[in-house]
Amino acid sequence: MENKRRDTVPHDVAMDVLKILPEKARMRFKCVSKTWYSSIKGTILPLIVSFTNSSFSQQHFLTIEHQSDEASHLLTVPSDFKLHRVTQLINGFICFYNIVDFEILMRNVVTQEIIDLPKSTFVVSDDDEDFSGPMISYFREYFLGFDPSSRDYKVLNISNKHTTNSSSYAWMIDNHGTPECEIFTLGTTSWRKIDAPPSRIHFRRQGLCANGFIHWIITNPRKTKPVLAVFDVKEEKFDIVKLPDEVRKNHDLIQAEEKLGVLDCDDFRSKNKIRVWILKDYGRGGGEVWIRRDYVFRFDTIMFRPPIPVSNSNNGEILLTEYKSSLVSRVFIYDLKTQERRAIKIPPVTEQDVVKFLDLKRARDFPSNLKFKRRNLALSFREDDCIEKSKESQQQFVTKVPICGATEMEEGSGLSSNSTGEPNKRPSARQTRHQTQNTQNDSQHPPTHVHSKAGPLCLRTDNVPLEEHPRIEHHHGYTPKMENLINEEVDVIRRCESDAVIRIKKLLLMSKSGTLHVHALRLIRTELGLPEDFRDSILGKYGNDFRLVDLEIVELVNRDENLGDAVVEKWRENEYREKWLSEFETNFAFPINFPTGFKIERGFREKLKNWQRLPYVKPYERKENVVRVCTCGGFERFEKRSVAVIHELLSLTVEKRVEVERLSHFRKDFAMEVNVRELLLKHPGIFYISTKGGTQTVFLREAYSRGCLIEPNPIYVIRRKMLDLVLLGCRNTKELKHLEEIKQVSDNLVGKIGDGGTRGGDWVVPIFEPLKNDNLDDNLDETCDLSDKELDVSANSGSETDFQVSRMN
C-alpha cells in the first residue's frame, strides 16, 4: 500500500506543493529529481512590490505573478521607529535603516531571512561626546547595490558627518557635512571604508541600482541642472553623469531594458505620452549616451496625474500608480515591450498577513504608541531565529537568487516618520531621567548630566533592568522586586486612606465654593497619594463627607472647621512661641530659604520683610473676602493668598511637589487667577522649580533637605525604594544606601524629640544666616517641619532641623 502510494504522487500535485514552498526550499528541492529541477528552474519569479500604508506604520510587500493582474500579499513588516527607512528592493533583498542611528538590518523578503549587518564604523562613541566640544553626528543614507558580473550584493553607506555645537536637527540638515563612505559586501564580516564621493550628495529620492551601478539624482539647491550621480558597484567608484538636456526636472528613475531609465511623464496629460531616457553608455568623462524612447498610452482611462513608478521588473514591466501615498487604487503594470497595460488589484491587507512574518505575538503585546516598546520590537526582529545561520553562507546564498524585481520606495515614508519620530525620542528618554532626578531634587546637577542620559543610548534597555518608576507609564515586565514595591505602594495608599480623605477635605476647604473638579484631582492623584480609583474608593465611600454634585464636580458636605488650619500656621506658631517673634512679624510670614548663590539686590530684604508682614486672606478662610481683597486694589494680597494656596497644596502632597502645569487646573476653584508660573518664579525662597525633563515641577523648598524629604511618610518611603531600584542599574551598585540614610534620619528624629531647640527655620531676622554658614552647602537645608504628618512632633519640640544643624556643626 505504502509503496503504491509513493509511486503515484502525481507531478501536478507535487508542483502545487512546490509553488507554496519558500525560495530556499525550492532551491534545495531542485535536487529531488530531474522533473523537479526543470520545474523549479522554469518558474518565473514574480514582481515584488513594496509600499507603506498611509500612516507609514507598516511596510507591505506584495508579489505580482507574471501575467497576473492580481497582487498577492507576501508579507508585512510593521514599521519600526528605529528602522523606518528602506533601500531599494533588489531580488528580494531590502535594508531597513535609520538616518541618524547606526542600526541597519537587511532582510530577504522572499526567503524571509534576516541578515544582521555589522555595526557601521561611523559611530559616535561615548568618549567623543563630552558635551563641551562640538557635537558629532552622522546622517546616514544606505544604498543597496548588485553587481551582476560577480553577483555580489553590496550595501553602500554614505554618511554626512556633521560637527556642530547645536543640537537642532533642522540646522544640521541645512548645513553641509563632510561625506564619508563605507561599503559592506554580503558574505564579509565588516564594513570597508572607501573614498567619499566628490561632492556632498543631496538626497532627494532613493537611489536605483541597475546594470551594476547605483544611481541617484543630485539636485543642487542653487537651482542648477540636476545631474546623475553614479556609483559603480564593482569598482566602488563614484562618478557624475549629465542628464539629457531635455530632462530639467527631477524625474523618477526606473530600470528599463536592464539599464537605467529616467521616466519623463511631462507630456502625459496633454499627449498621453511617457518618455523614457535610457542610459546606454556611461562614457567615463563626459561621453554618456542616452537613448530616448517614447511610449504612448492608448488607454481610455482618464488619469488626472502623471503616473508614478513604484517598482519595475527587469523584463520590461513597470508598475505605475497615480497616487504616491498609497497603493489602494489605480495601480497598473505597463509593459514597455508590448506597450500594454494591465490594472492590478491590490488585496486588502489583513491583520493575519502581518502575523505571517514576524512573530507578532510578541509585537501585539506592545502597544505601538510607545516608542519604548517599538524599540523592543526592533530587538525581536533581530532575535529572529534565522540570523545566526546567515553569516558564512551569505556569499553563496545571495549569488544564486534569480533576479525578480526592483522597487522604488516613496521618499515620503522615511522623511515624515523621521521628522516626527526623532525629536520625540529625546524627551521620552529624558523623562525617564527626569522622574528619577526630581525626587532627589538636586538642583546642583550639571545640565550635562541630563544630556548624557538623554542620548539615544539611553533607550537601549538591553542592559538596564526594567524596573521603572510607577509614573513612567510603561507597564512592562517588572521584576519581582519592583512588583512587590508596587503592591506595597498600593497597600500603603490603602492604609493611608484616612489621610487621603483629610487631604481632599482640605483641598475642598480651600476652594472658593467648596467644590473641586474631579479631573483636577485625578491629575494630581499620585501626588496626593490617592488610589487609582479614588473616585469610587474615596469620594464614593465617604458619602458623609463628599458629594458628587455633577459627574465631575465634588463638593464638601459640611465644613469641618477643625481641619481649617494651614500647615504654615503651625510653623508660624512655632516661630512665635519658640523664637519670641512678634505676632506682627509672624502672622503672615512664610518660611523662606534662598538657594546657594542667590543674589540679593539692594532693597530686597526690606521688600521681603514687607511682603512677609503683608496680611492676606488665608487659604481656609471664607472666600467672600477674596473678591473684596482683589477689588480693593490689594493685588499683592491676592497674590500672596495664591502663594499661600499653592504652599498649602504642596504641603498636602506626598512628595511636596507637583507639576506646575497641573496647578493651573485649580486656578478657578481656588480663586487664584494669576499666572501660576510667574508667581512661583517670583518666590524662589519658597518654591523650587525643576525644569528637568519636558515639564516643570514645583517643589516646596522647606520640605526638602539634601534631596530628601525631611519628614518622610510611608508612601514617600515606598516611592524612594522604587527610585533606588530604578537607579540601581545606573549606579551599578546593589546597595540601597540612600534608603538607609533616610531611615537613619527618621529614626534619629524620634530620639531627638523633646530636646528642644532654638532655631526652627529662622527667617525673620537672620534670613540669610544659613548662607554664611560654611557647613551648610545645600540649598535646601534650612527647613522646618511643616508636613501634615508628624505635626505633633513639631508642636512638642523644636524641630528636626535643630538636630540636623547641630549634627552638621
Could you say which residues in the range 13-52 bind another protein, by CB under 8 A? 13-14, 16-18, 20-22, 24-25, 27-37
CB distance 467 to 479 below 8 Å: yes
170 scored as a contact of another protein (CB under 8 A): no
Q: What angle do CA 170, 172, 178 make, to 5 degrees?
A: 155
- Toward another protein, which CB reaches closer, 10 or 287? 10
At 785, is the secondary structure helix, strand, or coil?
coil
Q: Smallest distance, Å, CB 406 to another protein?
A: 22
Q: State CA 423 to chain mean position distance.
A: 7
Please state, in angstroms and as integers, the Cα–Cα distance from residue 744 to each residue in 739, 775, 791, following that order: 9, 20, 20
> Per-residue x/- mask for another protein, residues 432 to 461, rule CB under 8 A?
------------------------------
Site map (CB under 8 A) of another protein, residues 567-606, x = contact: ----------------------------------------
Place of cell 500603603: 492
Closest by alpha carbon to 653, among 466, 785, 507? 507
Q: Least distance in Å: CB of 5 to another protein?
A: 5
Asked if 9 touches another protein (CB under 8 A), the answer is: yes
Nearer to another protein, 28 or 577 (CB): 28
Under 8 Å between Cβ of 347 and 51: no
> Which residue spans within 671-773 are E strands per DSSP?
687-690, 697-700, 704-705, 708-709
Strands (DSSP E) contained in 380-533 are: 406-407, 515-517
Comparing CB distances to another protein, the nearer of 28 and 807 is 28
Q: Shortest approach of another protein to residue 108 CB, angstroms?
A: 11
**CA distances for 715 relative to 456, 502, 531, angstroms:** 33, 16, 11
CB of 399 to another protein, least distance (A): 9
Position 386, amino acid: C
In the complex, what is the shortest distance from the CB of residue 32 to another protein, in angstroms, rounded to a whole number? 5
Q: How far is the CB of 19 from another protein (least distance, A)?
A: 8
Nearer to another protein (CB atom), residue 13 or residue 289: 13
Residues 85 and 97: their CA atoms lie apart, in Å, by 5
- Closer to another protein by CB, 25 or 123: give it: 25
SS (H, E, C) 609-654: HHHHHCCCCCCCCCCHHHHHHHHCCCHHHHHHHHHHHHHHHHHHCC
CB of 41 to another protein, least distance (A): 11
Tell me how far apart the alpha carbons of residues 719 and 723 are, in angstroms, rounded to a whole number. Answer: 6
Quick one: which segment of 10-18, 630-638, 669-677, 783-791 binds another protein (CB under 8 A)?
10-18
Phi, psi of 136 (to 5 degrees): -110, 130
Q: Rounded CA gap, 145 and 236, in Å?
A: 10
In angstroms, give the least distance from the CB of 13 to another protein.
5
Q: How far is the CB of 348 from another protein (least distance, A)?
A: 13
Residue 40 vs 336, nearer CB to another protein: 40
Q: Phi/psi of residue 704, each to 5°?
A: -110, 150
CB of 2 to another protein, least distance (A): 6
Closest CB 389 distance from another protein, rounded Å: 5
The DSSP bridge pattern shows strands 553-556 and 515-517 to be: antiparallel
Site for another protein in 392-411 (CB under 8 A): 393-394, 396-397, 400
Residues near 330 by Cβ (< 8 Å), separated by ≥ 6?
A: 303, 321, 322, 323, 343
How many other β-carbons are positioned within 10 Å of the β-carbon of residue 81? 23
Determine if 10 is a binding residue for another protein (CB under 8 A).
yes
Q: How many CA atoms are closer than 13 Å to the CA of 742, on its beta-carbon side? A: 21
CB of 3 to another protein, least distance (A): 8
**5 belongs to the binding site for another protein (CB under 8 A):** yes
CB nearer to another protein: give 400 or 599: 400
- Total number of residues that touch another protein (CB under 8 A): 37
Choose one: 5-13, 302-310, 554-562, 581-589; the region binding another protein (CB under 8 A). 5-13
Residue 394 or 413 having the CB closest to another protein: 394
DSSP assignment letter at 37: H
* Grid cell of 383 as nine digits: 532575535
Measuring CA to CA, which residue among 634, 628, 664 is closest to residue 646?
664
Nearest-approach distance from CB 174 to another protein, in angstroms: 45
Site for another protein in 358-387 (CB under 8 A): 386
Closest separation in Å from C-beta 75 to another protein: 15
Q: How far is CA 376 from CA 362, 364, 365, 422, 687, in A?
A: 9, 12, 11, 16, 39
Residue 36 or residue 139: which is nearer to another protein going by CB? Answer: 36
Sign of CA dihedral 664, 670, 675, 676: negative
Nearer to another protein (CB atom), residue 387 or residue 764: 387
Q: What is the spatial distance between Cα 191 and Cα 562, in angstroms, rounded to a whole number? A: 75
Q: Which stretch binds another protein (CB under 8 A): 8-16, 68-76, 479-487, 628-636?
A: 8-16
Task: Compare residues 110 and 663 and give the one whose CB is closer to another protein.
Answer: 110
* Nearest to another protein of 40, 626 (CB atom): 40
Q: How many Å apart are CA 400 and CA 491, to the nearest integer?
A: 64
Read off the DSSP letter of residue 347: P
* Cell numbers placing 116: 544582521
Cβ-based nearer residue to another protein, 112 or 526: 112
Q: Which is nearer to another protein, 80 or 113 (CB)?
A: 113
Applying CB under 8 A, does 343 fall inside the site for another protein?
no
Report the distance separating Cα 340 and Cα 124, nearest Å: 51
CB of 290 to another protein, least distance (A): 38
Residue type, 484: N
**Which residue, 31 or 750, has its beta carbon nearer to another protein?**
31
Indicate the residue among 28 and 271 with the shorter CB distance to another protein: 28
Sole residue written with cell 527587469: 314
Helical H segments across 537-566, by residue range: none
Least Å distance between CB 111 and another protein?
9
Residue 17 CB, nearest approach to another protein (Å): 5
SS3 state of residue 24: helix
Residues 150-169 that bind another protein (CB under 8 A): none
H helices of 753-799, in order, are 769-772, 791-796
Q: Binding segment for another protein among 11-19, 209-217, 433-441, 543-551 (CB under 8 A)? A: 11-19
Q: Is residue 248 a contact point for another protein (CB under 8 A)?
A: no
Residue corresponding to grid cell 510653623: 571
CB 4, min distance to another protein, A: 9
Region for 25 from its dihedrals, namely left if φ exceeds 0, alpha if ψ lies in -120 to 50, beta otherwise: alpha
Number of residues that this document lists for the chain: 809
389 makes contact with another protein (CB under 8 A) = yes
- The nearer residue to another protein, 74 or 658, going by C-beta atoms, is 74
Distance of CA 361 to the CA centre of its chain: 23
Q: Which residues contact 247 (CB under 8 A, 6 or more apart)?
A: 226, 262, 264, 277
Where along the sequence are the contacts to another protein (CB under 8 A)? Answer: 1-2, 5-10, 12-14, 16-18, 20-22, 24-25, 27-37, 386, 389, 393-394, 396-397, 400
